Chains A and B, each alone.
Chain A
């Protein structure tokens, strides 16, 4: 199966259940541990792997083309702002990569729009979206096209 759970590491917290976009990580009612209930609808997106505080989830490539013996492990550390990958080949070779996940601390950089001044009535009738034109970083205003140039049919 694509994702699988090391039963001895899992404590049944449910973070993987909460995050899986495919709704396939579930808690087994008998063992109280997480289990992938539908491996053939897993995308190997690693959302559950990254979310697990116990590092209890791993992926084993799809049986229809991936031979055994490989691994792709990941560690996402929000405090450090990094994500680290370790790829192990079937023949034992290894590759490691680290990259940033954000340049700002989580949860602080995005303002609440409700706290900004209310836009004036005319703005509603313009073609501008919020923060524009400033956020476009150009001083020519929003680009427009002249309607009399529109042509119908095969052209160009």
Chain B
């Protein structure tokens, strides 16, 4: 392939210009005035990431200025929701800074609704504030654009580079331009990964043409996990995949409905059902069911049990609230602001929630680190808040030196959402600047050999296609190679059936997980024979490889944690109960970059807040 190689030397490379990446570029410029800051983004930062379409709420805002919440309240909330398992140091740290980010968003022109009586931001719930957020991402992207030296859009980053002068240190990143095909090599003293979460790891409920209608964006392709894993970084809580209760088919959000519009759910016969599952849930998880608010996964659990008992579908009771025209407007605008598909689903099926109570569903599982879940990389906390096991010098630095994470990429920091992801990007960037200053004398070495080896690997799917294209039947069938879509569908089937997807009601066990791992291994062998017809398919091929690496990690973690910590997210049929005695711990994994072997360990949970 006759593609050019474009070299870029920088101080800080930000991989992924979503909420976390934009926050990182902004903060990096403030502290690193003379540093060269570059963003490499797969799409276009103006509309990339999970916030491309906009958001109707900022889900993490303390309101310290009005005494509404303090950071310790947020820690209690996040740890309660995750049944004890969060990194409290990271959660506290994010929470104490997040308000300053939100105040800046407003100053930059993001319309935040206000309560006419108090003048405070209009709350949707205890933690959420309401915004007119159609242009949230373009506004945040503008801040990044004014801060970075360079933004390279349409670069699919495939690998992080290793610094050959220092063991276990990052040396930059490599990827290709999806438009020109050129190879882009970034040598960097520090790298901040903000490449988002993972959809399409498990088989989605939507099929055929509709398969893109997942709750998390189809372009959230697990790069944030695969990139650090491939370099040997430790991961945490990867078993903590999330399942969401949402409006059926469109996956429209329910938060504003429950919290602001005060709607509620009932089964097909009009009965309240959650309380009926109290004893059942208590037998599985003990006193956690008595905590307030009820953890998200346990609410899912009641939903799933009720449907399995034959009393589905579950409905959202909207008929009462929607008689109020203001509430009706809020209900619709909530979709238009963040999940437009739901408006399409209702319009196409003549569902007017003023007269009909719409159906809810539980989604396929996702892997991500910033919602009601906390999968991701294991990172150092801040100096003043972290116990020694959680602290190795630079805030948000992973176990690979010079490599930092933010947003979905970071493990243990549930309930960061958009504002918290941006804030984590800022925290990582300040620490990265400090890291570079402290290591000013170090020279980063990335040899031509390393680049050449990767070049071969990166373009291989296009070469495979060139070799076999004359033997392809019907456009898709060949005995020699598979298309990225074929591989994706096989991955989704494996994960669904063996690792606890919708097809098995989120249930798995040790034999299933071991079968799953074997099949994932064979899938990886087959992926060596992926064919890519063009650059777009080459991007899909690499997204798939990243998804498979992350899936392997999820499966290893699920096998390691021999308990059902989060019923409603997944169930271990062979260990159906929560087991605080043995498993009140965080799980950690590391994949050896040379051998591909995984090692698992436990890490203590420290409670820094009463």
Please report A residues at the B interface, Cβ cutoff 8 Å: 1-2, 18-24, 26, 37-47, 51, 59, 61-72, 74, 76, 83, 85, 87-91, 93, 95, 97, 99-104, 106-107, 109-114, 116, 118-119, 124, 127, 129-132, 135-138, 142-145, 147, 149-156
Chain A nearest CB from B41 CB (Å) reads 10
Known: A104-B109, A135-B104. A47 touches B53 (CB 8 A): yes
- What B residues does A23 contact at CB under 8 A? 42-43, 154, 178, 219, 536, 539
Closest to A146 in B: B608
Interface positions, chain B 299-353, Cβ under 8 Å from A, are 329, 332-333, 336-337, 340-341, 343-350, 352
Question: Is A18 in contact with B44, judged by CB distance below 8 angstroms?
Answer: yes
Question: Is A124 in contact with B437, judged by CB distance below 8 angstroms?
Answer: yes
Closest to A22 in B: B219
- What A residues does B65 contact at CB under 8 A? 136-138
A152 to B92 alpha-carbon distance, docked (Å): 16
- What A residues does B348 contact at CB under 8 A? 61, 66-70, 89-90
A137 to B100 alpha-carbon distance, docked (Å): 8
Q: Interface segment, B138-146, B230-238, B370-378, B551-559?
A: B138-146
Chain B interfacial residues counted at CB < 8 A: 97
- What A residues does B341 contact at CB under 8 A? 43-44, 61-62
B209 contacts which of A40, A95, A129 (Cβ < 8 Å)? A40
Question: Is A129 in contact with B208, judged by CB distance below 8 angstroms?
Answer: no
| Contact mask for chain B residues 591-609; partner A; CB cutoff 8 A; 1 contact, 0 none | 0000000000000111111
Interface positions, chain B 61-118, Cβ under 8 Å from A, are 64-65, 70-72, 76, 79, 84, 92-93, 96-97, 99-100, 103-104, 107-111
Closest to A137 in B: B65
Question: Is B146 in contact with A64, judged by CB distance below 8 angstroms?
Answer: no
Question: Is A129 in contact with B132, judged by CB distance below 8 angstroms?
Answer: no
Most buried by B among A91, A112, A118, A131: A131
Closest to B99 in A: A136
Q: Compute the total of residue contacts between A and B using a CB distance below 8 Å.
A: 271
Question: Is B437 in contact with A64, judged by CB distance below 8 angstroms?
Answer: no
- What A residues does B99 contact at CB under 8 A? 135-137
Please report B residues at the A interface, Cβ cutoff 8 Å: 26-27, 29-31, 33, 42-44, 46-49, 52-53, 64-65, 70-72, 76, 79, 84, 92-93, 96-97, 99-100, 103-104, 107-111, 132, 134-135, 139, 142-143, 146-147, 154, 178, 206-214, 217-219, 249, 329, 332-333, 336-337, 340-341, 343-350, 352, 382-385, 387, 426-427, 430, 433-434, 437, 536, 539, 580, 584, 604-610
- What B residues does A114 contact at CB under 8 A? 29, 33, 147
User: 28 A-B residue contacts at CB 8 Å?
Assistant: A21-B52, A21-B217, A22-B218, A43-B52, A45-B53, A47-B47, A59-B340, A59-B344, A62-B210, A64-B206, A64-B210, A65-B210, A65-B249, A70-B348, A72-B340, A85-B343, A89-B346, A97-B333, A99-B336, A114-B147, A124-B437, A127-B93, A129-B427, A132-B100, A136-B99, A142-B96, A145-B92, A150-B387
Closest to A51 in B: B47
